[in-house]
Amino acid sequence: MRETRVTLADEAATSRLGRQLAARARAGDVILLEGPLGAGKSTLARAFIRALAGDERLAVPSPTFTLVQVYETPRGEVWHYDLWRLEGPEGLAELGWDEALEGGIVLVEWPGRLGKLAPDRALRLTLGMTETGREAVLWGEERWGDGL
């Protein structure tokens, strides 16, 4: 496991990172998106899903109220969770968590709500602000950070 830091000059750079990660994603991957409100988690997730779907115009609403959205893509199902409103991991069974982990690609915003259910092998991606703009910190297998 290694840490990679990526400077993100603007929203377009955040979207570009989402597309780059989509190119590396494969069935069974879990990506945990951390960071404060407004850090770019939804922007990154939207670009990631659109890239996997091969459709830059695909409607990708935030799953803040539905908690999960599932997308069929040429590379398999993508499960996009937003756990902001979930108080803990108890409600995940009703949201198809086990099914998602069986071979889908899983994106989780607010992964702190997963508790012990957060997979050890997941890519942890933290978006945040620095003195010079935004930054993404990736912690995971080398394939995620190579060449970013």
Beta pairing, strands 30-34 & 133-140: unpaired
Closest CA to 17 of 46, 38, 56: 46
* Tens digit of each residue's pLDDT (9 = 90 or more) over 30-57: 999 999 988 899 999 999 999 999 999 9
Q: How confident is the model at residue 11 (pLDDT cuts 50, 70, 90)?
A: very high
- CATH fold of 2-145, please? Rossmann fold (3.40.50)
Contacts of 44 (CB under 8 A, 6+ apart): 14, 15, 17, 18, 21, 33, 125, 127, 136
Q: What is the pLDDT of residue 65?
A: 79
State the chain's mean pLDDT as an integer. 92
Where do the domains of the chain lie? 2-145
Q: What is the pLDDT of residue 62?
A: 82
